[in-house]
Amino acid sequence: MITKTVRIDENKIDAALIKEAGEIIKSGGLVAFPTETVYGLGGDALNPESSKKIYAAKGRPSDNPLIVHIYRIEDLEKVAKSVSENAKKVIDAFWPGPLTLIFEKTDAVPKETTGGLDTVAVRFPIHPTAMAFIEAAGGFVAAPSANLSGRPSPTLAKYVCEDLNGRVDMIIDGGNIPIGLESTIVDMTSEVPMILRPGFVSKEMLEEVLGEVRVDPTILDANSKERPKAPGMRYRHYAPKADMAIVRGDEEKVIEKINEIAKEHEGCTVICVDENADKYHGVNLKKVGKKEDALEIASNLYKVLRECDDEGVEYILSESFSDKGIGAAVMNRLIKAAGHKIIDV
If the CB atoms of residues 150 and 267 are measured against ligand TXA, the closer one turns out to be 150
Stretch that binds ligand TXA, among 82-90, 114-122, 164-172, 257-265 (CB under 6 A): 114-122
Name the 3-class secondary structure at 196.
strand
Residue numbers 95-124 binding Mg ion by CB under 5 A: none
Q: Angle formed by the axes of helices 85-94 and 203-210, to 10°?
A: 130
CA distance 288 to 268: 16
Q: Rule CB under 6 A: is residue 113 a binding residue for ligand TXA?
A: no
Sign of CA dihedral 101, 104, 109, 115: positive
If the CB atoms of residues 147 and 318 are measured against Mg ion, the closer one turns out to be 147
Q: Rule CB under 6 A: is residue 254 a binding residue for ligand TXA?
A: no
If the CB atoms of residues 43 and 327 are measured against ligand TXA, the closer one turns out to be 43
Name the 3-class secondary structure at 114.
coil
Name the 3-class secondary structure at 61.
coil
Least distance from C-beta 18 to Mg ion, angstroms? 24
Tell me which of Mg ion, ligand TXA, none is bound by residue 65, counting a contact when its beta carbon lies within the kind-specific cut-off of 5 to 8 angstroms.
ligand TXA
Least distance from C-beta 164 to Mg ion, angstroms? 13
Q: Which of 43, 65, 139, 174 binds ligand TXA (CB under 6 A)?
A: 65
Residues 17-56: x where in contact with ligand TXA by CB under 6 A, - otherwise, as a string: ------------------x-xx-x----------------
Q: Rule CB under 6 A: is residue 332 a binding residue for ligand TXA?
A: no
Least distance from C-beta 321 to ligand TXA, angstroms? 20
CA distance 339 to 155: 21
Return the beta strands (E) in the chain as ranges: 4-7, 31-33, 40-44, 67-69, 99-104, 119-123, 141-142, 170-173, 184-187, 194-197, 214-215, 243-248, 269-272, 284-287, 315-319, 342-344
The size of the interface with ligand TXA (CB under 6 A), counted in residues, is 28
CA distance 35 to 124: 10
Stretch that binds Mg ion, among 115-123, 132-140, 143-151, 287-295 (CB under 5 A): 143-151
Q: Is 153 left (phi over 0), alpha (psi -120 to 50) or beta?
A: beta
Stretch that binds ligand TXA, among 139-147, 251-259, 265-273, 279-287 (CB under 6 A): 139-147
Residue numbers 166-185 binding ligand TXA by CB under 6 A: 182-183, 185
- The DSSP result for 263-280, as a single string, is HHSTT-EEEE-GGGGGG-
If the CB atoms of residues 130 and 254 are measured against ligand TXA, the closer one turns out to be 130
Name the 3-class secondary structure at 162.
helix
First-residue to last-residue Cα distance in the chain = 51
Least distance from C-beta 7 to ligand TXA, angstroms? 19
CA distance 94 to 34: 19
If the CB atoms of residues 42 and 280 are measured against ligand TXA, the closer one turns out to be 42
Least distance from C-beta 13 to Mg ion, angstroms? 25
User: Rounded to a whole number, what is the largest CA-CA distance in the chain?
Assistant: 59
Q: Which of 101, 196, 219, 326 binds ligand TXA (CB under 6 A)?
A: 196
- Positions that interact with Mg ion (CB under 5 A): 145
- Positions that interact with ligand TXA (CB under 6 A): 35, 37-38, 40, 64-67, 100, 102, 114, 117, 119-121, 123, 143-145, 182-183, 185, 196, 229-233
